[in-house]
Amino acid sequence: MVLKRRKRHTLLRAAAEVVNAANAVRPLGRDGYVTLPVFAFGWPTGEAAPVVVGASMLDALRRGLRGDFRSPRGRIALALTVIAWGLMGFVYRRSMTSQDFFEAPLRQTLGDDYAEIAAEERRRRRGGVLRTSWARHRYVRKNDIVRYGPHRANVADVWHRADLPRDGKAPVLLQVPGGAWAIGMRRPQAYPLMTHMTERGWICVSMAYRVSPRNTWPAHIIDVKRAIAWVKENIAEYGGDPDFVAITGGSAGGHLTALAALTPNEPQWQPGFEDADTSVVAAVPIYGRYDWFSREGTGRAEFIAILQRYIVKKRFSENRHVYLDASPITKVRSDAPPFFVLHGTDDSIIPVIEGREFADALDQKSDNTVVYAEIPHAQHAFDFFGSPHGHYTATAVAHFLDWVKAKRG
């Protein structure tokens, strides 16, 4: 009886591996709440395929030595498992060859200046994006964990190289974490990017903020504004340049990044620090939410329901102005700072159309540079791991921000 159950489980496990790998090749669902498990399984499988395949191979070896693949059903299970490995190998190979989708929009928009910056980057980059799991321990010391505001969640890590001169005026990047406005963990988000930027002499500030449902909108954006103000007032003590502060973030962090960049010095979102300067020199939102008010389209009804119940906690029908005000796409302006917007075409959490429409609205209204990179087959949170997508994101963002810095002189 135990042997029969084991053989049955072996086949079911193999079938599940094939389905999971197929989901990484192309999301199996793009509408409604099914997108959550589609993302939860497809994201790590796609971005960490070598690790997943390695673990599966070791497990297959263990089961093979145990005799699970000796029967006809077991041989079918083994064949399915090998197919799953092949699919994940295809996914990884596809991401390995995706760099031009990050860089081509920069070449096209920035022109010859980009080519010079990219060449300089190749000469001096030391690598190390794949070593990001322990990167924080190299660049954040005990005294680099700071409190930027009065609330318990108002903490941040200041990433910097130990050899940076205190009067060096290093450029600064503020990292705003994602997490559906309900997590907001600064660790370990954007480690590939912050590792890359810190190694190149930047200072990165990785912040946390108050989250829902414990806290209600607009607590989140107020904390981001407060963090910008803190950076401008204090970063010189770490060798940073308060006059060159850029901002980035993914998912909910992408929303907050875009909104903060488009609403500098907005009094309603700076209670108690209305006079503080909260402008930024550039913004890099990645797979963000830019529209809190449209009700038609894939996943929109579910998203508005979540906002009403857990984030804003106000009925949409009676408070539409609150949702409009919180939408970066309604805040595009002619004097917006330079933007680099990135989104993946296989994003099952935030459809790629949001990135397209936001970048297009910015491009039509802003007098400044707008670059939009759409990454084929990339799932949500594609820059989280030290994967090819994570590496290419870090390099492309560095190129863009170096260009902004060079333009400012």
C-alpha to C-alpha distance for 365 and 127, rounded to whole angstroms = 37
C-alpha to C-alpha distance for 207 and 38, rounded to whole angstroms = 28
C-alpha to C-alpha distance for 51 and 302, rounded to whole angstroms = 33
Partnered with residue 303 across adjacent β-strands are: none
Candidates 380, 389, 391, 399; catalytic one: 380
**Which of 256, 138, 230, 119 minimizes the C-alpha distance to 191?**
138
C-alpha to C-alpha distance for 56 and 63, rounded to whole angstroms = 10
C-alpha to C-alpha distance for 2 and 65, rounded to whole angstroms = 17
- Provide CB contacts within 8 A for 51, sequence distance 6+: none
**Which of 251, 236, 244 minimizes the C-alpha distance to 282?**
244
H-state helical runs in 158-266: 191-199, 219-234, 252-262
347 given a catalytic annotation: yes
What does the block give as tokens for 261? Answer: 């960049």
Candidates 251, 327, 348, 366; catalytic one: 251
**Which of 159, 178, 166, 122 minimizes the C-alpha distance to 402?**
122
Report the SS3 class of residue 182: coil
Phi, psi of 159 (to 5 degrees): -90, 125
Give burial (CB, 10 Å; 0-12/13-18/19+) of 155: middle
C-alpha to C-alpha distance for 188 and 75, rounded to whole angstroms = 40
Sheet holding 155-159, edge to edge: 145-147, 155-159, 203-207, 170-176, 240-250, 283-286, 339-344, 370-375
How many CB atoms neighbour CB 295 within 10 A? 9
Candidates 347, 366, 377, 383; catalytic one: 347
How many CB atoms neighbour CB 365 within 10 A? 14
Partnered with residue 124 across adjacent β-strands are: none
Q: State the amino acid at position 39 in one-letter form.
A: F
Q: What residues are annotated to the active site?
A: 251, 347, 380
